[in-house]
Amino acid sequence: MDKLQGGLVGRHWYYRPPWSGGYWDVTVHKIQSRNKKCVDNRKRSIIRNVKGP
């Protein structure tokens, strides 16, 4: 887990970067995005800015 503030909720990692006022959803699972492209599950990718738990 990143050294930033956050935690695991369900299958999604949440962390709060210091430059953002909200939480980011970071996941290693494959997520089909709106443009029908799958995110590589071998990398941690910032999917979207979401409200934290």
17 to each of 40, 42, 49, how far by Cα in Å? Answer: 22, 22, 11
Range of the domain at 21: 5-50
**Beta strands, E only, 1-53:** 5-9, 12-16, 23-27, 45-50
Measure CA of the first residue to CA of the last residue in the chain; give whole Å. Answer: 17
The pTM (predicted TM-score) of the whole model is 0.18
Domain tally, the chain? 1
**Tens digit of pLDDT at every position of the chain (53 positions):** 444 444 555 555 655 555 555 555 555 444 444 444 444 444 454 555 555 55
Rounded Cα gap, residues 25 and 16, in angstroms: 9
Laid out side by side, the sheet with 45-50 consists of: 5-9, 12-16, 23-27, 45-50
